[in-house]
Structures are given as structure tokens and as C-alpha cells.
Structure 1
């Protein structure tokens, strides 16, 4: 039964080797209407409805695993789902193995690779987990939560602690301390509890000290 919000139609294309098509009929009694192309590959079409591509791919995968996988094997080179609404787009948060981005047809793969600007390429392993793969590692971006608290792309929060100035260079060093807290409120409490901020006021005073000395010397 189709749900009210499953309004978008997604077309699934199946590429079935010649021998496997008849084996599918004999073994499972599953008659799938298909046409034979010039490469002796049977091409079949089936439609699924869903509120988004992720839902449609999930439905198509469940159907394939129950009805066809026993004979046809892994669907990575046999089942392809189109992207009529352009939901598959490349951005910094793109995940190749996301269900929304799997079982892509050729036009969608070509568009996606072009959008990625060299970051993505076609997956060419025997049993790939996705249609595309990363050619370049994703840049790790940190989020500045406060002046001294930062969060990594993996969610870990660090405290930037200023160490005492080097007597030779006169420069202070900043060291990142890993925190156990996962939220900003808890991270602030952890900083106080561990006493990580106890030298910050002293460090700020040290930075201002040369300025005060020079002012006093000028007045004298």
C-alpha cells in the first residue's frame, strides 16, 4: 500500500545477463518483462514511489534482495535508480555510502563527478559499497565554538590553552587539550573543573607587560 507522502516516482533499471535472465525464471519463477539489447543484456524497468530518493532506494534494495539477489548476486552492477528531482548533489558533507547516493545511473554519476571537481570518481571495485568513491580526502574543518573552544569535524571538542611565554622568543604557545564533553555547556564546566583556564589571566597580563614597561620608561 502506497503512503500519502510517497508521491515521487523513481525508475529502476535492471541489467540482467542473458543466461541469468532465464535462470531467474527457472529458479524463482519470477517473470520480469525485459528487452534484449545488442550486448545480449536484458534491460528491465520497474518503478518505486517514495518521499525522497533515499526511501525509493531502500524499497528497491529490499525488493531486489528478496526477489532477485539469489540468482543475480550483488546489485551494484545490475540495479540503477534515477534521480528525477536532482537530490544527489555534491557538497562538503557528501557521503558516498549514504543510501541516497547509492545505485546511481550513468547521467547522475557523470553530473556528480563534474560537480565534485576532481574529488569523486567512479567506484570500480568488484563489490563496491557505493557508486562513486573519493579521490581526494575530505578536508577536516573545525568549528570555532568560543574564543578558546573548537570542535573537530568528528565532534570532539578541544580547549586552546595558552602556555607561558618563552623567555628567549617572547612568544606564547597555544596547545589544544582534548575534552571528554560533547556539548558546549558541559565543555565549559569541564574546563573550569580541570582548571585549564587558571593561567589564562596570567598569560594575558604577560602579553601586556612589555607595553606597560615601555610606557613607564618613556615617562621617566
Structure 2
């Protein structure tokens, strides 16, 4: 039953091998309307409604396993869900394993790869039924960087806060560096800025640091 907020229409495409298609019909009596495409592959299409592509993919996967139970292959090998509203868009935070970015059709895959400027490629790993591959994968590992939240205070992507101490100052002579500055990040127990500032003062880290 379609919910009131499931107003967006998406299309599921199944690419079924020739022998698998007739095995499906004769073995289960399941009448799936399909047309014969190139390379002796049948193409079947079904509309599905949801409020976003992520929800549409979730519904599509549930429908696939309920109806076919893997008889025509694992879902990631035969099923695609289109992206008619341009919801799949590349940026630096693009997550290949996000459900809304999986089961992409060829047109969307090509568009995302082009937009990534060499960051993404097709994910051609074999995968398994319970651990399917993504539609695309990164070939450049994203570097997670700490963020400066206050002078000398850095926070990691995981939320850990560090106090950046200068243990040895840089020394220059006649315009040349004769000794490089040595710094060290001291891990704090605090998880918020206010508590971190109090911890630095309590531990005297600001007094130990070299200006």
C-alpha cells in the first residue's frame, strides 16, 4: 500500500539472463513482463513510489528478495534503480556505501564518475548476497583532517580534542632554519570546547607550551 508521502516515482530495471528468465517462468509460474535486449538478456521494469531515492532502493531490495528469492541472481548483479530527480550528486562527502547511492543505473554511474574528476570508478568487486559491492568506489582515499576549534585546540573527525604544544621553538640564523620547531598533540579527555579549555588550564598545558 502506497503511503501519502510516497509521491515520487522511481523505476526498477532488472537485467535477466536468457536462461534465467525462462527458468523463472517455468519453475515458479511467475509472469514477469520483459523485453529481449542485447546479448540475449531480458529487461524487465517496474515502477515504485517513495519519498526519496534511499527509501526507493530499500523498497526495491525488499521487493526483489520477496518475489525472486535470488532465483535470477543476487540483486546487485541484476537490479538497478534510476535517479530521475538528480538526488545522487557528487561532493567531497559522497559516501559510496550510502543506500541512496547504490543500485545506480549506467547513466547515473557515468555522471557521478565524471563529476568526481577521477575520484570514483565503477565498483566491479564480486561481493556476496549479504555483502554486495557498491555501484562506485573511491580510488583516492579521503584524508580525514583535524579541525581547529580554538587556538592550539584541534578536534578529530571522531570528536577527540587535542592540545597542540610547541616543545621546541624554531631557530633561524642568517635567514636559514638551523632547528625546526617540534610540536606535539596532547590528547584531552574532554569532548567539548568549554571543558577542554578548563582541562588545559587544570593540567597546566598552556604553561608547558613554548610560545
**Alignment partner of 2:70: what SS?**
helix
Query: Following TM superposition, by how much is the alpha carbon of 1:84 offset from its aligned partner in structure 2, in angstroms?
Result: 0.8
The 1-side partners of 2:199 and 2:205 are apart by 9
Cα deviation, 1:121-150, whole Å, max 9, x if unaligned, reads 011111252000111111323321111111
* Bigger mean CA deviation after superposition, 141-150 or 78-87: 141-150
Q: Does the 8 Å CA contact 2:12/2:47 hold for their aligned counterparts?
A: yes
Q: Paired residue for 1:62? A: 62
The structure 1 segments of at least 4 consecutive aligned residues displaced by more than 4 Å after TM superposition are 166-172
In structure 1, the residue corresponding to 2:206 is in which secondary structure?
coil
| Pair 1:72–1:182, CA change in 2 (3 A) | farther
Which of 138, 141, 144 is matched with 1:137 structurally?
141
- 2:36 corresponds in structure 1 to 36
Task: List runs of 5+ in structure 1 lacking aligned partners.
Answer: 205-220
Counterpart in the other structure of 1:184:
193
Greater helix proportion: 1
Is this contact kept in 2: 1:69–1:75, CA < 8 A? no
**1:116 equivalent in structure 2:** 116
Q: 1:86 to 1:29 in 2, by over 3 A?
A: same
* 2:160 paired residue number: 156
Q: TM-score, normalised by structure 1?
A: 0.82
1:74 Cα deviation from its structure 2 partner: 1.5
TM-score by length of 2: 0.85
2:85 is paired with a residue whose SS is coil
Q: Distance in 2 between matches of 1:187 and 1:131?
A: 42
Q: Residues 54-82 of structure 1, C-alpha deviation per residue, up to 9 Å, x if partnerless?
A: 01001101111222233123211210111
The one-character-per-residue Cα deviations of 1:148-173 (angstroms, maximum 9, x if unpaired) are 11122343322212225478957653
- In 2 relative to 1, CA 166–122 (structure 1 residues): closer, same or farther, beyond 3 Å? closer
Return the structure number with greater strand share: 2
> For the structure 1 residues 193 and 47, does the alpha-carbon distance in structure 2 shift closer, same or farther, using more than 3 Å as the test?
farther
Shift of 1:5: 1.7
Rounded to whole Å, the distance in 2 between the matches of 1:144 and 1:166 is 22
